[in-house]
Amino acid sequence: MKVCDSLAEWREKRASDRFTGQTVGFVPTMGALHDGHRTLLQRAREENARVILSIFVNPTQFDDPNDLVRYPRSLESDLAVAAGLADYVLVPTAKEIYPDSYHYRVSEYELSRRLEGAHRPGHFDGVLTVVLKLLHLVQPRRAYFGEKDWQQLQLVRGMVEALFLPVEIVPCRTVREADGLALSSRNRRLSPAARAVAPQFAKILRASGSAAAAVPALQAAGFEVDYVEDRAGVRLGAVRIEGVRLIDNVRL
């Protein structure tokens, strides 16, 4: 496994014979890798000759500067998770990814303004812009995204279609702890007390008769609720517990 922290070096590698005629699978991440990411990497490994992982805590998708500062960073343990699964790990700097100082960006004007977008202004502009840049840099045949970030997945698919990008977006099922809590890098920030309550989030989303009924049930369990909404056969929610924001969704 080769770690590339310079885009010039990566571009040279990508243009080399090693990639000629080989299918490339790509897993974009912000690091703090867990078993959910491992599943994406395993799937990419099974389906492609070359697997590329990117680790980049993308500043433009954080609407809250404190959230960006507090986002977990753990490159050494991330590389241990990726070992044997990824062939190359891209760890670019923000300066390299944004030579334009983010003057050019991708905006979607419908779904991106709802749900997460309504609570995190500009979040999906940052996500779509960085994903487009990474897809150009990596030129994968397939790119792997988790269904936990349902809205992100739909928006990336929409962008790929709208901009005629030659890549297949592969959705991967949410990986959960035994008690039902969806794996997320943010779970590391839960106190033991909050961690004990957190599995109630998915349970209540699943058990409630309607999105509206889920809200008071979540509040009674100790969550602050940003939203719960049913959309396209999926119940989506975002909550906060002791200041840690969790998102999840369940099929109806």
Cα(140)–Cα(50) distance, integer angstroms: 9
Residue with tokens 């397939």: 142
Q: Which residue number, 36 or 237, has a Cβ lying nearer to ligand PAF?
A: 36
Q: Does residue 215 sit in helix, strand or coil?
A: helix
Q: Which residue number, 32 or 194, has a Cβ lying nearer to ligand PAF?
A: 32
Catalytically active residues are 37
Rounded to the nearest whole angstrom, what is the least distance from the CB of residue 76 to ligand PAF in the complex?
19
Cα–Cα distances in Å, from 133 out to 28, 96, 136?
11, 11, 5
167 contact partners, CB below 8 Å, separation of at least 6: 26, 135, 140, 141, 142, 143, 160
Cα(221)–Cα(52) distance, integer angstroms: 40
Rounded to the nearest whole angstrom, what is the least distance from the CB of residue 221 to ligand PAF in the complex?
26
Residue with tokens 């490339």: 24
| Residue type at position 136 | H
Q: Which residue number, 29 or 208, has a Cβ lying nearer to ligand PAF?
A: 29
Cα(224)–Cα(115) distance, integer angstroms: 15
Tokens of 25: 């699978």
Are the beta carbons of 225 and 206 closer than 8 angstroms?
A: no
Q: Which residue number, 98 or 217, has a Cβ lying nearer to ligand PAF?
A: 98
Cα(166)–Cα(164) distance, integer angstroms: 6
Binding site for ligand PAF (CB under 6 A): 28-30, 58, 61, 127, 130-131, 149, 152
Question: For residue 177, what is the enclosing H or E element?
Answer: none
Rounded to the nearest whole angstrom, what is the least distance from the CB of residue 16 to ligand PAF in the complex?
25
Rounded to the nearest whole angstrom, what is the least distance from the CB of residue 210 to ligand PAF in the complex?
28
Q: Which residue number, 116 or 204, has a Cβ lying nearer to ligand PAF?
A: 116
Rounded to the nearest whole angstrom, what is the least distance from the CB of residue 37 to ligand PAF in the complex?
8
Residue with tokens 């045949």: 141
